[in-house]
Amino acid sequence: MLVLATTHVHAETVKYISDQLQAPVRSGPSTKHKILRMLNAGKQVVILENAESGWSKIQISNEDEGWVLTRYLMNQPAARDRLAQAESQLAKYQNENSRLKRELQQVSSQSKELSSTVKQVKKDNTRLSQEYESLEKTASSAIAIDAERMQLKNRLAQLEQEFKILEQQNARLTDRSKRDWFIVGAAVLFVGFVLGLIIPRIRWNRKQSWDSF
């Protein structure tokens, strides 16, 4: 099918070649003129002039010009071109429809995943709330335990201080006891020494007294 655009002095009209397989382009507006070329159906041309004899002057490209019978021109594309265009549009719409279906499936799948995620988030939120409440209770207990631990620590420090004092006192008592035992021992030795000197004299004096009788 050939697509033709008719152009007059002040207007431009779009025309289409009829369902002829080929349309002859002649050098003039009659069948006696030389055929310049054959145009396949669907070829687009620009109409430069319409003659009353039923011929139209066309421009095939920027330079090539010629004449064709006006009856070969139509106001709409040929049926096979319209069919091909419709089939092309149908294929395009079918592809678009398939793409939209895939996107819809993806959106539906994402929606399900999002719904599942929301449920999981709600579940986690409930669990975290319960854990937070438990932590608050634990924190209160921890504060009490920490206070008790500080009391025990202070008590331990006090006991350690008292123990050091007792150790110092015990050390002093030990030193004093050692000194006392040393003094007692020395006294015992001295007394023993004195007795060792006195007792023999007493015995000797008694012996002399008995001998005098």
Domain ranges of the chain: 3-77, 78-168
pLDDT per position as a tens digit, 34-74 = 999 888 877 888 888 998 899 999 888 777 899 999 988 77
Q: Helix/strand/coil (H, E, C) string of 76-90?
A: CCCHHHHHHHHHHHH
Give the pairing of strands 55-59 and 45-50.
antiparallel
**Identity of the residue numbered 49:** E
- Chain centroid to Cα 22, Å, comes to 65
Which of 46-55, 56-65, 107-116, 190-199 is the least confident region? 190-199
- The CA distance from 127 to 119, in Å, is 12
Which two tokens mark 31?
A: 């069948």
- For the chain, the 3-state helix, strand and coil shares in percent, each to the nearest 5, are 65, 20, 15
The CATH T-level fold of domain 3-77 is SH3 type barrels. (2.30.30)
Q: What's the residue count for the chain?
A: 213
Look at residue 106 in the predicted model and tell me its pLDDT.
84
DSSP string, 26-58: ESSSSTTSPEEEEEETT--EEEEEE-TTSEEEE
Rg (CA), the chain: 67
% of the chain at pLDDT higher than 90 = 10
